[in-house]
Structure 1
Amino acid sequence: MSLPTLHDLRRPLGGTGLTVSPLGLGTVKLGRDQGVKYPSGFTIPDDDEARMLLAQARELGINLIDTAPAYGRSEERLGPLLRGQRDHWVIVSKVGEEFEDGRSRFDFSAAHTRFSVERSLKRLETDCIDLVLVHSDGNDLHILEHEEVYQTLEALKQEGKIRGFGLSGKTAAGGLKALERGDCAMVTYNLNEQAERPVIDYAAEHGKAILVKKALASGHVCLSPGVDPVRASFELLFAHPGVSSAIVGTINPLHLAHNVATVANVLRR
């Protein structure tokens, strides 16, 4: 019996003209094992393991990959790993957060935004990044209203260096503000946390893109006995027409196959 895949379940990424798999692969674990909030430790996979994981994701119909400068070596590893496959992937990266010496620092200036995108283009070995999101420090409205990052991303889009931009924020107010001018908001939405749901409602009404982070509450979802937490999580997400894709960061091939099968079953009901 063949495994369920997501090849025929692509959905529009808002108004960007791109279509994406309902499940995206998060790659923080390809580049960084410090300062991450997972219930159990892990070992960063070597190149062969990472290559096999990406090949498996592609075979299962995943075409969306999420990375960031703050994910340690993730971007610089993905460049060579995805060589020759650029047309098969929609790549999401970020600006604003740097992770060095075990801690994060933030810079939302025009100069740093431009530097960061140019560096990501080199690392990812591409001449255009599909979507670049502002990696918020939590002060969403301040960043959008008083920093230069958003207008710089707008300029980079006009220059053809990025296809779309938006915010990976922490608040509903920030997500709503981000969608007024931007293409996408990345929101936290899961069985434990639903405060950013108004952003998804707005996106559905205005044809904007929503990517969901922490869809499985970073592995912390707890339910009553006999309920599959992964299935319950994806049922919640995909009950909302505004959700473009859920980003799940896994380096476990069995988890990846299970997540894909679950999403395929939920969407084909």
Structure 2
Amino acid sequence: MLTKLGKTDLSIYPLGFGGIPIQRISFEKAKTVILKAKELGINFIDTAQGYSDSEEKIGFAINEDKNYWVLASKSPARDSKEMEKAVTNCLKHFRRDFIDLYQLHLISSIDELQLVLGKNGAMETLLKYKEKGYIKYIGITGHKPQVLKEALDIFPFDTVQAPYNPLETQSEELLKYASLKGVGTIIMKPFAGGALTSPSGCIKYILSKDFVDVVIPGMERVEQVEENFRASLDLKITEEEKMGILQDIHQLKNNFCRRCDYCQPCPQGIKISTVFILHGYLSRYGLKDWATSRYQSLPIPANKCTNCGVCERKCPYELPIRQMLQKSHNDFQK
């Protein structure tokens, strides 16, 4: 059962393939997992420039039937030259002469979007490559629903990608708005970065929403592909799945960052939500080297927290942010 991605002419299965986890498996294992997805009818793959060798592994896996797939990637490049490098490398890695969807990665403010859309901004490259046929459609991704919603009124993006799951529902208004505008909706973080322990329940919850076009759980094992696919066939949530979701939400509600960034700015300059995102990749995804290198590249590490408590007074979820920052830093030092 294929569906259209927004107003595009891309026909996709509603369960897609997220390309983050295949960083930690071999090229041959990645091919086995991706071909299992193809065998079941999954045809949409989403990855990113920043996911180390994910693009290359995808290109290797699909090479024998590359036109079966609808391929999406993304880059945090903000200027035209850096975006040109990203798209050129993506074409080479995918081993194709076009990319179905290329997205601006993690737009976090309207000022950032205006930079991308301005003179010598990344959008110049995307539009040029689209005109030449190297890119079919242009999308946007991020964690801030209000920013993304406003972005859809500033530029005619073809798709929007945001986190959405039973724990993180803050993007629901954005996704409904996008769907009404004919913008394709792509759901990332369906398991809240691995925090939710009922994958099948989450898949059913998400795909039961009429404003969702496709969900892209990260997968690195054949068993994960099969389990997620089974969930996509019957969206009725079982009592066991429902109880698992409710139990997770109860346990996580006071100890899980939703990346709303109400805690910002930190007086010390710590990028609080970024620290917690990277810690999730370390502790739940098992991407130790990838997450650690990105944490170490942050201008201000989490241990620079002075315990002023400003962030906690502003957090709508009353999270123990200071404790969470210290734990994150300590775990990255192990």
TM-score category by the smaller chain?
A: 0.7 to 0.9
User: Which digits, 9 at most, give the CA deviation of each residue in 1:172-225, with x for residues without a partner?
Assistant: 122213433110010100111111112211122111101000011122115xxx
Say whether 1:125 aligns with 2:72.
Answer: no
CA–CA distance in structure 2, aligned partners of residues 66 and 202 of structure 1: 22
Is the contact between residue 172 and residue 196 of structure 1 (CA under 8 Å) also seen in structure 2?
yes
Is the contact between residue 25 and residue 250 of structure 1 (CA under 8 Å) also seen in structure 2?
yes
How far residue 113 of structure 1 moved from its aligned partner, in angstroms, is 1.0
Equivalent residue, structure 2, for 1:214: 189
CA–CA distance in structure 1, aligned partners of residues 72 and 113 of structure 2: 19
Whose strand fraction is larger, Structure 1's or Structure 2's?
1
Say whether 1:14 aligns with 2:14.
Answer: no
Structure having greater relative contact order (Cα 8 Å, sep ≥ 6): 1
Q: Of the candidates 134, 152, 156, which is equivalent to residue 161 of structure 1?
A: 134
Equivalent residue, structure 2, for 1:192: 167
Say whether 1:244 aligns with 2:213.
Answer: yes
Q: Of the candidates 60, 81, 84, which is equivalent to residue 40 of structure 2?
A: 60
Amino acid at match of 1:187: A
Amino acid at match of 1:78: I
CA–CA distance in structure 2, aligned partners of residues 57 and 115 of structure 1: 29
Structure 1 unaligned spans of 5+: 1-8, 32-43, 97-106, 223-228
Say whether 1:143 aligns with 2:112.
Answer: yes
TM-score by length of 2: 0.65
TM-score by length of 1: 0.80
Q: How does 1:11-160 map to 2 (within 5 A)?
A: 11-31=3-23, 44-96=24-76, 107-136=77-106, 139-147=108-116, 148-160=121-133
How far residue 230 of structure 1 moved from its aligned partner, in angstroms, is 2.6
Q: Of the candidates 110, 132, 149, which is equivalent to residue 176 of structure 1?
A: 149
CA–CA distance in structure 1, aligned partners of residues 104 and 11 of structure 2: 21
The percent of aligned pairs where both chains have the same amino acid is 26
Amino acid at match of 1:192: L
Equivalent residue, structure 2, for 1:262: 231
Structure with max Cα Rg: 2
How far residue 151 of structure 1 moved from its aligned partner, in angstroms, is 4.1
How far residue 161 of structure 1 moved from its aligned partner, in angstroms, is 1.1
3-state secondary structure, aligned to 1:217: coil
Is the contact between residue 208 and residue 235 of structure 2 (CA under 8 Å) also seen in structure 1?
no
Cα-Cα RMSD: 2.0
CA–CA distance in structure 1, aligned partners of residues 73 and 66 of structure 2: 14
CA–CA distance in structure 1, aligned partners of residues 108 and 34 of structure 2: 34
Q: How does 1:223-234 map to 2 (within 5 A)?
A: 229-234=198-203
Is the contact between residue 143 and residue 149 of structure 1 (CA under 8 Å) also seen in structure 2?
no
